[in-house]
Structure formats: structure tokens, C-alpha cells
Amino acid sequence: MDDILLRSDDVGVATLTLNSPANLNALSDAMLAALADAFRALSQDDSIRAIVLRGSGKAFCAGHDLKEMQAKRAAPDGGAAALADLFNRCAEVMTAIPRLPQPVIAEVHGIATAAGCQLVASCDMAVAAEGTRFGVNGVNIGLFCSTPMVALTRNIARKQAFEMLTTGEFIDAPRARELGLVNRVVAAEHLLEEAARLAATVAGKLGTAVRIGKRTFYDQIDLPIEDAYALAGDVMVENMLHADTNEGICAFLDKRKPSWAD
């Protein structure tokens, strides 16, 4: 249990647990490196069809490790190079999530603040426990959450995001669901069960179809509508011609369970 990031696999679902409760699972250099390694491994693991990302202890993730960030400022250049490297590595971790072939579900409790909120926003789906608080609170200490803003503004409406960023105020789990930051809110005692249920549902689908679908979801979302339809049409052809898709359609028409190779 000394590893900063834990992984457990069960029936096509990989669970990654941020395991640094003493600093509220902060995205330290070590945590970012562990996440990057885990995502690289999962991107090549065809046995995994869904991923759950959770935190140990009393919080999901409190964002960057401020003590480490302050220490980087001691460099001769005032820390500019070291800090730029930190934010570049963090961006690589965040952007790796939508690029993974498997859907990633954030299982959130306690708090998700600053880069921790960014991590939730970067995941494909999120389930939150009642009582969870979300915030991009850097402005309260004079550090505007500019990098968390990138993911946040791709999840929720512009004015709501700007209010969170400029006031530094928390929102609760029901409000996060209203704004589109999380999919589901459940009682804390049911959080593990609900996230596992959602992951199992996704993992039970045809893996090829979900991988194709996730890739296309992100590829089309910022395209002009004509280009998006052209891309999606090509992908539908690709998907339709897959042998397992043919088996799925035949099974539906025959009123039987499909026998998929994937």
C-alpha cells in the first residue's frame, strides 16, 4: 500500500486509486509520473474496457502540490522552466484521458479542487458522493486556475465556469450535476457501488464499438457540423463492417445473446 498509485483489475475494469492521502492526493511530480505510466500501460491493454479513477482517504484530489511548486521557484531563473515543465506534464496527463481507448470514470468524494477539479473534468464521466465539493479556488491565494480552466470550460457553461474561477467558491455535488461536471450523485456509502456499476455496464458492451465511439466522440465534437457528419458517417461504415457488429445485429434479430470475439 506504499505505492502512490494503486491499480486493481476486475472483469474488464481497471481501478486506479490515487494513494497519497496525507496531502489529499495532490498531483505531485510523483503522482503525475505514476498516472502517466498507468495511462500508457492501459492504452495498450485490450483486456481493460473501462477505467475507474478514485482517491484514497478523505478526498479525491486537492490539486497541485503547493509545497513542491514553491520549491521550484528556488531555481536560478525564478522557477519558470521548472514550473513550465510541471504544467506541461500535467497537461499531458489530462489530455491522455480522452485519448485512452477505454472510457474513464471519476469516482469523486470529499473535495476536488483546482487541478483535482480539472482531473474530474478531464474524465469521460464522473460519479460523485453527496457532500463532495468542487472548486477552482486558486484565485483565493492569488493564483488563477488557468490550466484547470481549460478542462472546466469544456464541461460547463461559460458564465458558470467564469464565476467559479473568479470567486473561488465551491459548488456542491448536486450543483456540479446540474452544470454537467458530473453524471450522477449518490449517497457516500453507495459511491463505490455506483461507480463500479457504471464501469461494468460500459465494460459489458462490444469493446471495438466503444473504442471507435470514444475516439470519434472527441474527434467530431469541435468540428463544423458538416465535417462532423462526414467523419461520423465514415466511422459508422467502419463499425458496421466489423465482424462482431454483424454478430451483434444478427443476435438482436434472432433474439439471442451475441457471441462476440472482442
* Tens-place pLDDT, residues 218-256: 999 999 999 999 999 999 999 989 899 988 999 899 999
What pLDDT shows up at residue 2? 66
What pLDDT shows up at residue 74? 83
Q: Are residues 211 and 198 in the same domain?
A: no
130-173 pLDDT per residue, tens = 999 999 999 999 999 999 999 999 999 999 999 999 999 999 99
Q: Are residues 231 and 183 in the same domain?
A: no
Q: Are residues 57 and 132 in the same domain?
A: yes
Q: For the whole model, what pTM was predicted?
A: 0.94
By the 8 A CB rule, do 186 and 178 touch?
no
The SS3 assignment for 108 reads: strand
Q: Are residues 184 and 69 in the same domain?
A: yes
Q: Are residues 111 and 230 in the same domain?
A: no
What pLDDT shows up at residue 109? 98
Distance CA 259, CA 262 (A): 9
Q: Are residues 178 and 93 in the same domain?
A: yes
46-77 pLDDT per residue, tens = 999 999 999 999 999 999 999 999 999 888 88
What pLDDT shows up at residue 203? 96
Q: Are residues 25 and 106 in the same domain?
A: yes
Q: Are residues 118 and 231 in the same domain?
A: no
By the 8 A CB rule, do 203 and 257 touch?
no
The separation between CA 186 and the C-alpha centre of its own chain, rounded to angstroms, equals: 18
Residue 33 lies in a domain: yes
4-29 pLDDT per residue, tens = 999 999 999 999 999 999 999 999 99
pLDDT at 88 over 70: yes
Q: Are residues 234 and 125 in the same domain?
A: no
Question: Which letter does DSSP use for residue 23 in this model?
Answer: G
State the residue range of the domain holding 248.
Answer: 207-254
Residue 26 lies in a domain: yes
Q: Are residues 211 and 94 in the same domain?
A: no
Q: CATH code at 239?
A: 1.10.12.10
Q: Are residues 174 and 221 in the same domain?
A: no
How many distinct structural domains can be found in the chain?
2
What pLDDT shows up at residue 1? 47
Q: Are residues 239 and 130 in the same domain?
A: no
% the chain with pLDDT above 90: 91
Segment 120-125 shows an average pLDDT of: 98
* Beta bridge partners of residue 128, listed in sequence order: 108, 185
How sure is the predictor about 113, in pLDDT bands with cuts at 50, 70 and 90? very high
